[in-house]
Structure 1
Amino acid sequence: MPKVALVTGGTRGIGEVIAIELKEAGYLTVANYGGNDERAREFRERTGIPTYKFDVSDFDACKSGIEAIERDIGPVSILVNNAGITRDGTLHKMSQKSWQEVLDTNLGSCFNMSRCVIEGMRERRFGRIVNIGSLNGQAGQYGQVNYAAAKSGIHGFTKALALEGASMGITVNAVAPGYVETDMVRAVPAAVLEKIVARIPVGRLGSAHDIARGVLFLVSDESGFITGSTLSINGGQHMY
């Protein structure tokens, strides 16, 4: 029977492509989303991938969401913690709310979701968890102390949980994307975008497919000897 793969923030952007490519690879894929019902409906109708709406920053919502998925679809064997938000601003102007929302959604969700599936993975002695970090969590970024802190925390979380899961057949890895051609990046002014691309040694933005292919490798049965690693997919912009 195909393994159940759950992607948080899986109905748009990088998460959407990861979910689609997991399905195409033969996994029984499910996408979580947080708020855009119309986008989720369109995604569900176009791809045939079931969607579940719940707030990944809320532990109780995650617990209920996982219970519903496992009741409807089956036990989650693969978890991709992709959901994330930005609330950019320099620290001296940043509100505590903007700090906390990013920490809760980007980093807290990794705990919430992993905690809700880890016991089942341990019982079955198999699991794959991939956390989506960021180049900016490795190198820092002006105006993103909240985002950089959360993403940097993901890399530490990944290593620690990898140690806990290794003897139980559970691998935990991270993918750290660089600048990827998403709606958010395409909205950057052309002159600024040109400067960003000029700092990428391969000479282009990444694509969501570049990221998805890395995730597919890390969740495969063949990747069982890789755990606690961060796969940087950034075109050589930051070698870490």
Structure 2
Amino acid sequence: MDLQGRIALVTGSRRGVGQLVAEHLLARGATVVGFARGEATIDHPAYRHYQVDVADAAMVQRAFGAIARDVGPVAIVINNAAVLTSQYAMIMPPSAAQEMLNVNLLGPFLVSREAAKMMRRLRWGRIVNIGSMAASLEPIGDSIYAATKAGVATLANVLAKELGPLGVTCNTLAVTAIDSDMLAQLPRDKVAAIIDRLPVPRFAAADDILNVIDFLLSERSGYITAQTIWLGGVN
């Protein structure tokens, strides 16, 4: 797939799945804009990094203004930025719950709405929200995290109806566990026990994610919208 001439925005591009996807899109020829609260970890001539908290509406709007001036209209969005605090509900700090709601759910909304204004002018766009197996499997300790990941799928479905007439598709890729900083926060044995119950009982590899990303961004997927694709057989 050739993405020459396309400008793609990846949130949470500093590490993990976000960095993986950003580097993949660069290899496909896209100009990639990264949002993250920290400094850039990608060094590439076609990569532009903005230190942005996606939960801050004013900061997101300012960043899109800068993108319009410095780079051009965004045609692809990968809403990947997320935080996870896995803890029983009775001892979950309200501040941790609020942060997950702000970053994992409000963030994709704020980014998508600003990107949609650019896509409207292009009459073409692709929005992909990175979901999680937690939304379906509902593991103990992940009440808020799972709820936010279920929320991003619903968000994509509603936006698909609003933006479909503009040539914009909105879908969700629900990933299973992949080696990342986020996964490292969780007990490995408990994660492995969940993975062992999947129809395809293994951890996700990079190609499992990138294969679906390629499909959802392609011209041939223009009739695919408001869908959630579950890796590993989760349903």
Q: 1:99 to 1:192 in 2, by over 3 A?
A: closer
Matched, 1:8 2:6: no
Q: CA offsets, 1:159-183, max 9 Å, x none?
A: 1100111111000001000111223
Q: Number of matched residues?
A: 232
TM-score (norm 1): 0.90
Aligned with 1:185 (options 178, 183, 186):
183
Query: Which residue, 160, 165, 186 being the options, matches 1:167?
Result: 165
Structure 1 position 197, deviation (Å): 3.9
Deviates more, 1:53-62 or 1:26-35: 26-35
Gaps of 5+ in 2: none
**Aligned ranges 1:16-95 → 2 under 5 Å:** 16-35=19-38, 37=39, 40=40, 43-45=41-43, 49-95=47-93
- Indicate the larger mover: 182-191 or 5-14: 182-191
Which secondary structure state, in structure 1, belongs to the residue aligned with residue 47 of structure 2?
coil
Distance in 2 of aligned mates of 1:100 and 1:8? 19
**TM-fit CA distance, 1:185:** 2.8
Task: Tell me the amino acid that sits aligned with residue 98 of structure 1.
Answer: A
Contact 1:86-1:102 at 8 Å conserved across structures: yes
Mapping 1:92-131, distance limit 5 Å:
92-131=90-129
- Name the CA distance, whole Å, in 1 between partners of 2:85 and 2:189: 22
Partners of 2:180 and 2:84 lie apart in 1 by 14
Give how far 1:26 is off: 1.6
Matched, 1:144 2:142: yes
Q: Which secondary structure does the structure 2 equivalent of 1:133 belong to?
A: strand
- TM-score of the superposition, structure 2-length normalised? 0.92
- The range that moved more, 3-12 or 90-99, is 90-99
For residues 194 and 141 of structure 1, the distance between their equivalents in structure 2, rounded to whole angstroms, comes to 12
Task: State the one-letter code of the partner of 2:214.
Answer: L
The answer for unaligned runs of 5 or more in structure 1 is: none
State the identity as a percent: 36
What's the CA shift for 1:188?
4.9
Q: Deviations over 1:67-110 (max 9, x none)?
A: 11221111101011000001221111112211111000000011
Structure 1 ranges of 4+ moved more than 6 A: none
Deviations 1:41-83 (A, max 9, x none): xx23268622111100111110111111221111101011000
Distance 2:159 2:182 in 1: 31
Distance in 2 between residues matched to 1:121 and 1:221, nearest whole Å: 15
RMSD over aligned Cα atoms: 1.8
Give the structure 2 partner of residue 224 of structure 1.
222
| Distance (Å, rounded) in 2 between the aligned partners of 1:190 and 1:105 | 24
Cα distance change on mapping 1:75 and 1:179 into 2, 3 Å? same
